[in-house]
Structure 1
Amino acid sequence: MNENVLGIVAGVLTSVSMIPQLIKVIKEKNADELSWVMLLVLISGLSLWVWYGFIQDELPIILSNSFAVLVNVVLLICWFIYRKK
């Protein structure tokens, strides 16, 4: 298998992994099960992967991790909106 195809498949799978959680949070309007610390750590790590992708000039790394950052930032926003105070 071509390594670019492998990278794209891996990137797509990891990028969409949080979408079911995002859909659940939005449908239930409940973010009590989310950890904001975990989201911040994950967003930080994914952002570093994006930076690494730019350094290495690797589009699959840049695109997949940028999408994952976006999904997790939306989850973090949902945490602020739907958390119980």
Structure 2
Amino acid sequence: MFRKFAIAAVAVATLATAAVTITPNEAFAGNRNRGGALAAGAIIGLAAGAIIASQAKPRYYAPVYAPVRCHNEPVQRWSPYHGQYIVVGYRQVCF
């Protein structure tokens, strides 16, 4: 998960830097307000990074199963002939 985030962050930073440096300068002198270009570059970079990050496919990790412990448990029934419980079979119990 961290690797995916790191790749997305690097992509966003690269695209934002490229978008800010590529914006054309104004043709007339005296233009000191470039906040709009900076904001546009940041927005474009974030959008491109989000698109790239959403297209990354997650890796498949096989589920890890806990070892199954099983044992045979006797099945007992009351026998009126014997006057006590007797074992009539076994069942396998797993947990």
TM-score range, shorter chain: 0.3 to 0.5
Structure 1 length as normaliser, TM-score? 0.34
Name the structure with the higher helix share.
1
Choose 1 or 2 for highest CA Rg.
2
Structure 2 length as normaliser, TM-score? 0.31
